[in-house]
Structure 1
Amino acid sequence: MTEEEARVRVAEGVSRETLDGLDRLVALVSEENARQNLVSPSTLSIMWSRHILDSAQLFWLAEGASGSWLDIGSGGGFPGLVIALMRSDLTILAEPRSKRATFLRETADALGIVDRVRVAASRVETAPIDTPVSIVSARAVAALPALFAMAARHTTKNTLWLLPKGRSAADEVAEAAREWQGDLRLVPSLSDPDSAIVVARAMRRISG
């Protein structure tokens, strides 16, 4: 998918204001990347297809689910800041690296969404989250069993998990099934037809 095709695809599903915000996010990440490695330099020229569309599709998979959204290891804001630009409910960005957490706060302010973004500058296991979240996302953070274990304390059986896992998705689901059970399915990725997103609910650790 070309950059123009990716931008057009995203534009079809967002308002003009949101699209402007996404353009601004691309510019801010590209500028900051000269100071800290938020994304691979090789992807700076394909931000829309590699990062924006890849993030936006998670919002569409949430099918209008309301409530707080927890993004684990937000890094340069993907998918967390993209999600926050697309919805009005609270988005919590768990990012343990202090420089990146500072960038996320400053960028949320610059994008005019600071009122619906909370940055937790800590590991997700110890993040100060008072109530269970409705949705969890994580992009390129850890294998599925580790992700479920890391965030389980912040979830309920109704929490929706949206986890891009690339071409290893099926293998990771099989690995996770040794420790966790629930409703898991794979959805093809819009940004990479050879990759998939794990969509899960009712996750619980297998006892015994």
Structure 2
Amino acid sequence: MREADINPDIENLIQAFGVSRETIDRLEIYQSLLGKWQSSINLVGPATLHQFWTRHVADSAQLVALAPPLARRWVDLGSGGGFPGLVIALIWASRPATDGGAVHLLESDGRKCEFLKTVIRETGAPAVVHEGRIEEISQQNPDIFAEIDVISARALAPLDRLLLMSLPYFDIHTIGLFMKGRGWQEELTASEVSWNMDVEVVPSKTDEEAKILICRQPKLRQSGLR
């Protein structure tokens, strides 16, 4: 580890989320690769690149505590630059081998898929990249996506659309961890027209205006989406 002794953002990450020093080493490799690839592929907002540890890693890491402790199959929709899914995988890399598990990163942009694969290769993260449309990947790999424990998404789509995209990945025990910004209430209200589900609203630990919507057993109402 090169930065942790002098970077307060890293120390805060360790204290707030219990991230191991071994995980920090892997995250530093991720940070380095992100900086190199960002010049040719827009992986994150350019203005947020210097906020890697706070805006991106800490924001993603908070999902771990909301997931079932024994979760083994995690699906991240529209992974893009790897947030939150790749961060989850890097944290999982330090779990006991007996816990196992893998994070499945779904992304339609081939260039971003190559970036994700590079980070996985360089860090040994327990993750698998699936290139294609979210709605089609589950049909192409039904065995892989059976009995998913957690589905996550960050800044991907409005909630009603996100639920439709993620529905094939939900099982009776699956939870959706959907990260939403200041418009979360409007999205939730709009989704209730077409969807019936159990929802728990959890405040974000990194953004006072943001929420994490924990969704269970979504069902499309008979009226369907308008």
Please say whether Structure 1 and Structure 2 have the same fold, judged by a TM-score greater than 0.5: yes
- Counterpart contact for 2:105–2:130, Cα < 8 Å: yes
1:107 aligns with 2:119: yes
Shift of 1:78: 0.7
Equivalences, count: 204
Aligned mates of 2:67, 2:8 — CA distance in 1: 22
User: How far apart, in 2, do the equivalents of 1:199 and 1:9 lie?
Assistant: 25
Match of 1:33 in 2: 38
Tell me what 1:9 maps to: 12
Pair 1:65–1:167, CA change in 2 (3 A): farther
Whether 1:193 and 2:196 are equivalent positions in the alignment is: no
Consecutive unaligned residues in structure 2, runs of 5 or more: 1-6, 93-99
* 8 Å Cα contact 2:78-2:107 kept in structure 1: yes
Query: 1:205, 1:152 → 2: CA distance?
Result: 9
Which position in structure 2 is the counterpart of 1:122?
A: 132
**Residue 50 in structure 1 maps to residue 61 in structure 2:** no
Structure 2 SS opposite 1:133: coil
Which residue of structure 2 lines up, in the alignment, with residue 89 of structure 1?
A: 101
Residue aligning to 2:66: 61
Q: Is the 8 A contact 2:201 2:213 kept in 1?
A: yes
Query: 2-side partners of 1:79 and 1:18: how far apart?
Result: 15
Distance 1:186 1:59 in 2: 16
- Partner of 1:49, secondary structure, is helix
**Unaligned segments of structure 1, at least 5 residues:** none
**C-alpha displacement at 1:179, in angstroms?**
1.0
Q: Secondary structure at the match of 2:152?
A: strand
Q: What secondary structure sits across from 2:32 in the alignment?
A: helix
1:147 aligns to 2:147 (yes or no): no
Asked if 1:18 is matched to 2:9, the reply is no
Q: Deviation per CA, 1:12-43, whole angstroms, max 9, x where unpaired?
A: 31211111111221111111101111001101
Partner of 1:183: 198
Tell whether the 8 Å contact from 1:125 to 1:153 is kept in structure 2 after alignment: yes
* Maintained 8 Å contact 2:170/2:217: no
Question: Are the equivalent residues in 2 in contact too, given 1:169–1:186 (CA < 8 A)?
Answer: no
Tell me how large the CA RMSD over aligned residues is. Answer: 1.6
1:37-69 residue CA offsets vs partner (Å, 9 max, x unmatched): 100110111111110011101112114241210
Give the C-alpha shift of residue 5 in structure 1.
5.2
